[in-house]
Structure 1
Amino acid sequence: MAEYETGGESLAGRVALVTGAGRGLGRAHAMALAAAGAAVVVNDISVSVDGTTAEEYDLATRTVAEIVAAGGKAFADRSDVSCFRGAATAVRCALENFGGLDIVVNNAGIFTGTGVGELSQEELERCLAVNVIGSAGTVRAAFEHMRGRRYGRVVNTISEAGLRTGCHAGAAYAAAKAALWGLTMALSDEAAPYGITVNAVSPGARTRMSGAHLDRDGSDLDLAPEHVSRVVLALVAEAAADVTGRVVHAAGGEVREYRLRREADSPLVRRVNGQEDHGCRS
């Protein structure tokens, strides 16, 4: 599995669950975790990027076959994590097949780029269900086991679309990914007393979800998903016990940390306080 050399510590003996791991980022994460020695539950229900159409192939089984062929351990799970029941089933798959669960990578997500004027309630609910309820439900089910062992690593997947302007990703997707920032912060507080870390990764990678957007922008960066998987490995490592409640952006081999902080002195604050003319724009 040379493509997925970890360059870090071994995860031998650890069990990981990666949702949406049939292709793209999820597949890269599953392959990287397996290369590091973890047994991996590959969760995927094989649907289109907007979650409405079934794919031709069983993507979870295909990823598992790749991992096993390379000498790793993996098991396919086809639970729909967009509801708490399905999320609990995915967690139970790890417990029943590998005897435990140490690492959860919440990667499953769907995309709708619909503007708010054309957005239907059904589209919004579907996007929130997969991206937000899926992540919350999976962690909820995993926490019961992790708390008892006083160990766990959770990585959620957010997006710059929910962190800044200029991404033009659509209201539903941006809202869902922004919600995951808050979920990550709240879960990190709740998990800390039990030795469980909760972080988030904001990926910049060429996948079926991002390909069209990147082509429009004419990007020529090396946006291989494996660059993001390297960061995921760092966040789930034994040595990352002191890293929680953090958001890391990874793209093209570059790594940045997103930080949210209050500022008492900014152009907008001065304007609101009547200390600056209305021409200021910052």
Structure 2
Amino acid sequence: MGVLDGKVVLVTGAARGIGKECAVLAAREGAKVVINDLGGSVAGGDAGDSSPAQDVADEIKAAGGEAVANSDSVSDRKGADHMFQQAMDEFGGLNVVINPAGILRDKMFHKMDDEDWDAVINVHLNGAYNVTRATINHFREQQDGAYVLFTSTSGIIGNVGQANYAAAKMGVAGLSRIIAMEGAMKNVRSNIIAPFAWTRMIATIPVKDEESQKRVERMKNAMRADQVAQLAIGLSAPSDVSGQIFVARGNEVFLMSQSRPLRGMTRMEGWSPETLLEHGFPAMKADMLDLGNTGSVFTWEPV
């Protein structure tokens, strides 16, 4: 018996990395799986290739599971509709959407091209919208559904050179929260994962110094895609967990905070720019977050 027995799961970006591990584990846990992957490059923008998704579907079937391949793009709304329809046609239903599909086009913000901004927003934020919008009414009508969407520490903490990616991933966090709030009465859940894992997307990040090299080696050796998949499938299984942000880092799982007031200042006569500069901001300074990246937050070696 698996935690997803009788469920139908759509996994995007499922030909490689985290997506593939999620798809394989979902099948192992009893689900019928739609394997979506455009088969494109890490940067996106190319025609793609249907064979990687088919290879994963064949691997699942060879192990005794049920799977079908799909090569639509998450950035295409008609493609997302087709993924849903394929699940209905092939397996007679859909219960879970796991959406790790993504691309990277890293560049310092002052050097970023409009094309690089649009491409990343289209795949990550619009892609999350497309797959959730295509399936939300079905989930609400059957009063059963789970979304596992993917954010990034580049968004919720920050990382230099990834303004497009960070903006998209913070957008996904807001989207997931509202889906969870609006779906609560219909048993529709949505959670997001910020994964630490060595994938071909991470492999494209430039290694510019010794510290970056050490970080890359840690990711290769201690933070794997299959570890992230365990959390994704756990969130796919029936439970009362919804509206949350998790980080998966090696064998560690973190429940992350969400924006809440840190400190309030009141001035009965009201604030002016001068009093804010002289009094308000200095009084809040100790509670302000610094500009450190992920390494300044997760300062210990992964477990």
Give the TM-score normalised by the residue count of structure 1: 0.89
Q: Is 1:183 the equivalent of 2:175?
A: yes
Distance 2:47 2:202 in 1: 19
Alignment of 1:198-277 (within 5 A): 198-213=190-205, 216-218=212-214, 219-220=217-218, 221-238=221-238, 240=239, 242-260=240-258, 261-264=260-263, 273=280, 276=283
Alignment of 1:82-231 (within 5 A): 82-165=75-158, 167-213=159-205, 216-218=212-214, 219-220=217-218, 221-231=221-231
Question: Residue type of the partner of 2:252?
Answer: E
Deviation at 1:272, TM superposition (A): 5.8
Distance 1:277 1:192 in 2: 36
Q: Is 1:40 the equivalent of 2:33?
A: yes
Distance 2:278 2:2 in 1: 50
**Which residue in 1 is equivalent to 2:270?**
none
Deviation at 1:262, TM superposition (A): 1.6
Deviation at 1:53, TM superposition (A): 3.0
Identical residues among aligned pairs (%): 31
| Unmatched runs of 5 consecutive residues or more in structure 1 | 1-7
Question: Residue type of the partner of 1:177?
Answer: K
Specify whether residues 190 and 271 from structure 1 end up closer, same or farther in structure 2 by C-alpha distance, changes over 3 A only. farther
**Which residue in 2 is equivalent to 1:3?**
none
Which of 7, 10, 20 is 1:27 aligned to? 20
Structure with higher Rg: it is 2
Distance 2:119 2:230 in 1: 30
Give the TM-score normalised by the residue count of structure 2: 0.83
Question: Residue type of the partner of 1:262?
Answer: P
- Bigger drift between 29-38 and 81-90 goes to 81-90
Specify whether residues 271 and 205 from structure 1 end up closer, same or farther in structure 2 by C-alpha distance, changes over 3 A only. farther
1:270–1:276: 8 Å Cα contact kept in structure 2?
no
1:79–1:86: 8 Å Cα contact kept in structure 2?
yes
Task: Write the deviation string for residues 204-241 of structure 1: whole angstroms up to 9, x where unpaired.
Answer: 00000112449634132411111101101111112x2x
How large is the RMSD of aligned CA atoms in angstroms?
Answer: 2.4
Question: Residue type of the partner of 1:87?
Answer: A
Specify whether residues 48 and 265 from structure 1 end up closer, same or farther in structure 2 by C-alpha distance, changes over 3 A only. same
Specify whether residues 271 and 154 from structure 1 end up closer, same or farther in structure 2 by C-alpha distance, changes over 3 A only. farther
Specify whether residues 263 and 13 from structure 1 end up closer, same or farther in structure 2 by C-alpha distance, changes over 3 A only. same
- Bigger drift between 221-230 and 54-63 goes to 54-63
Which of 10, 35, 56 is 1:63 aligned to? 56
Deviation at 1:113, TM superposition (A): 0.5
Give the structure with the higher percent helix.
2
